[in-house]
Amino acid sequence: MARIVTVAAAQLGPIQQAEGRQSVVARMIALMEEAHAKGATFIVYPELALTTFFPRWYEEDRSKMDHWFEAAMPSAATQPLFDKARAFGMAMSFGYAELTPDGHHFNSSILVDRNGTIVGKYRKTHLPGHVEFDTERSHQHLEKRYFEPGDTGFPVWNFEGGLMGMAICNDRRWPETYRVMGLQGVEMVVLGFNTPSVNSQRGAEGLDDRLFHHRLSCQAGAYQNATWVVAVAKAGTEDGNHLMGGTLIVDPNGKIVGELDHEDDGVLVHACDLDDTVFGKETIFDFKRHRRTEHYGLITERTGVGAPLGR
Ligand code: ING
């Protein structure tokens, strides 16, 4: 018996600083309409989907960046998106900057069921970049300045007839992200990303390398945990700063089943059979049968590199 989730990876093109949330939400709704017309029942939007990638901008007074954050979800600006999703009977996930009532700042994403109810929240664990202005970099990447590390861990939810997990951008580069969800039986990981197309510390590392590492990370995570991975870009040039595309869907065998080849608003729709995860989970990645946790201690005992165990 197949357990099909027809997912739409809904890529957003650039969002300029001057573009308001209402305009972005209208773009997101247009993508949802296209996804609905193509039979999708679950739509996934990028990281920080409502605004420009503001962590590229340095601000001495961090409180002056709070206007990029959502103090409520849904809010007046995002309610039309929830209303449209409910009208379509479409589940959704998207990322946004979260300001909690007690003043905490997270890079977050949510799972919303077909009734428009928020049933899951994830807060980005692996924050790349730096806290202070870095004169050595070609551009700033100040997520460590504006966000706290997530406090949710990597939960997996019963969602859309399967086991669903979330990650955000840099999380996809860390095998621990997928494995913690893999140990919960995850069958689909959805993640958004905003990835500058050039390494700010190594100019020679450009778009091709960035796309290679992005595909490598998503494919490895999918294969090594027998799960679908849906990765959705915010892409294009935002106020002169280029973000790469590369929206793609990877099957549980690590194969890319679809990838967008542009940097504009667009949807990639694929009927993902969650039962395609079963063979991998019951054979090569039957964790219970094959893992030897007695030898993995360093993974949680050490944060950074320590002394070698060999003599
Ligand atoms: N962006 C980038 C990402 O992880 C990055 C930052 C790029 C870090 C390449 C290391 C290497 O895709 C976000 N938002 O995490």
126 CA closest ligand 1 atom index: 15
**In the numeric block, which tokens belong to residue 17?**
């600083």
Decide: 54 in ligand 1 pocket, CB within 6 A.
no
Inform me whether the pLDDT recorded for 205 exceeds 90.
Answer: no
Q: Tell whether pTM > 0.85.
A: yes
- Measured in angstroms, how far is the CA atom of residue 195 from the centroid of ligand 1? 5
pLDDT confidence of residue 1: 83
Query: Rounded mean pLDDT of 187-216?
Result: 95
Decide: 169 in ligand 1 pocket, CB within 6 A.
yes
Rounded percentage of the chain residues whose pLDDT exceeds 90 = 96
Query: Rounded mean pLDDT of 43-54?
Result: 98
List active site positions. Answer: 47, 124, 169
Decide: 109 in ligand 1 pocket, CB within 6 A.
no
30 contact partners, CB below 8 Å, separation of at least 6: 265
Burial class (CB in 10 A: 0-12, 13-18, 19+), 263: buried
pLDDT confidence of residue 87: 98
199 CA closest ligand 1 atom index: 9
Q: What DSSP assignment string belongs to 214-268?
A: HHHHHHHHHHHTT-EEEEEEB-EEETTEEE----EEE-TTS-EEEE--SSSSEEE
CA distance 283 to 299: 24
Q: What is the pLDDT of residues 274-292, one digit of tens each?
A: 999 999 999 999 999 999 9
Q: What is the pLDDT of residues 223-280, one digit of tens each?
A: 999 999 999 999 999 999 999 999 999 999 999 999 999 999 999 999 999 999 999 9
- Measured in angstroms, how far is the CA atom of residue 295 from the centroid of ligand 1? 30
Inform me whether the pLDDT recorded for 311 exceeds 90.
Answer: no
pLDDT-derived band at 203 (thresholds 50, 70, 90) equals confident
Decide: 254 in ligand 1 pocket, CB within 6 A.
no
Q: What DSSP assignment string belongs to 66-100?
A: GGGSBSSSS-TTTHHHHHHHHHHT-EEEEEEEEE-
CATH architecture of 4-290: 4-Layer Sandwich (3.60)
| Residue closest by Cα to atom 7 of ligand 1 | 195
- Measured in angstroms, how far is the CA atom of residue 128 from the centroid of ligand 1? 6
**In the numeric block, which tokens belong to residue 100?**
């909690």
Task: Give domain limits for the chain.
Answer: 4-290
55 CA closest ligand 1 atom index: 14
Decide: 258 in ligand 1 pocket, CB within 6 A.
no
